[in-house]
Amino acid sequence: MTPLREMEGPLDAPGLRALIQGYAPVVLRGVARDWPLVAAGAVSAQAACDYLLGFDHGAAAEAFVGPPAIKGRFFYSDDMRGFNFERRKGRFADLLRYLLQLQGREEVPAVYAGAVGTAQALPGFAGANQLPALFGMGAEPRIWVGNRTSISTHFDASDNIAVVAAGRRRFTLFPPDQTANLHIGPLDHTVAGQPLSMVDLAEPDFVRFPRFRDALAVAQVAELEPGDAIFIPALWWHHVEALSDFNALVNFWWTDSPDQDARFDAMIYAVLTLSRLPAERRNAWSEYFDAFVFQEHGDPATHLAPEHRSVLGEPTPQLRQYIKQYLMRGLQRP
């Protein structure tokens, strides 16, 4: 696998814009080395938890807890009807204390809580642990804590900067053009919201998943230390391994438009309406998508006056509302 491209911090607003425009993952070494949480984690897991508990206001969080037999890999159950772990809700502070109790033990359960909003769970944390380049982006920091666990290859709909604040993590990334080679699981029945690759990266079964060899040939990998961060563009597939007995990560997602979360839904509806057509019909529809959606031949409405472009016009709030109403009428058909 190819090492990920790296940059040394700090990161400023122009640098962030360049990352977004470049649409490629980048490791940002030392970008958060001055964070108080990073300093506490360098002392011990106890010090990191004590620091976080200083912001705790009793908020709840949901944790994944799996038996030692899953070796930290949260995934489906053998029959694919459920999962190989339990979801448990409780106080975030109690989760931190539980993780500390597991330190140094053998055969411990896999424990992980992800995407916990710090505004609710740890008010004041964001002000003390900042990435100034993200000011004005609307990116609320979210914290992820756990022990030695792995999150199977998945994508996010948003651009993402993830900061390793305690422990070490390994990131393995695949570009969107490898989707067909990753042997993706169910699109609607998922472990944590996004579809997953069915391949166990630690022990890939190339007989069952032969195309994964091609994905590995272009995979990019990096190990991050506390204070390092990674920029992961939207739709890049990524596999994340926590390599320490206690790990804390803080990530920042931000939206690029009000339509961001509807794009996957649009694809699912296209699967329903187009994917089972005969090949020649699918090919014909692909020409329409190339022309009107992906604009392979340029703006398809340049020959129309702005007032006559309708759904092909600039996506104003009024146009978005009109299109949603238009689509709802179609969705109500038998």
309 CB burial (10 A radius; 0-12, 13-18, 19+):
middle
What tens digit of pLDDT does each residue of 109-167 get? 999 999 999 999 999 999 999 999 999 898 999 999 999 999 999 999 999 999 999 99
Alpha carbon of 57 to those of 60, 100, 147, 252: distances in Å?
Answer: 9, 19, 23, 21
**Predicted local confidence at residue 231, as pLDDT:** 98
**Predicted local confidence at residue 39, as pLDDT:** 98
Which domains, ranges and CATH numbers included, belong to the chain? 2-254 (2.60.120.10), 260-331 (no CATH)
Nearest to 239 by CA among 149, 153, 114, 146: 153
**Predicted local confidence at residue 331, as pLDDT:** 84
**Predicted local confidence at residue 129, as pLDDT:** 97
Radius of gyration, CA atoms only, the chain: 22
* Six-digit token string for 281: 């019909």
Chain centroid to CA 309: 35
* Six-digit token string for 275: 């994917």
**Predicted local confidence at residue 258, as pLDDT:** 86
Q: What is the DSSP track for 209-245?
A: -TTHHHHHHT-EEEEE-TT-EEEE-TT-EEEEEE-SS
**Predicted local confidence at residue 1, as pLDDT:** 81
The model's pTM: 0.94
**Continuous H helices in 2-112:** 13-22, 36-43, 45-53, 92-101
| 183 φψ region: left (φ > 0), alpha (ψ -120 to 50), beta (else) | left
pLDDT along the chain (334 residues), means of 10: 90 94 97 97 97 96 97 96 96 97 94 95 96 92 97 96 98 98 96 95 97 98 98 98 97 91 93 97 98 97 95 94 90 81
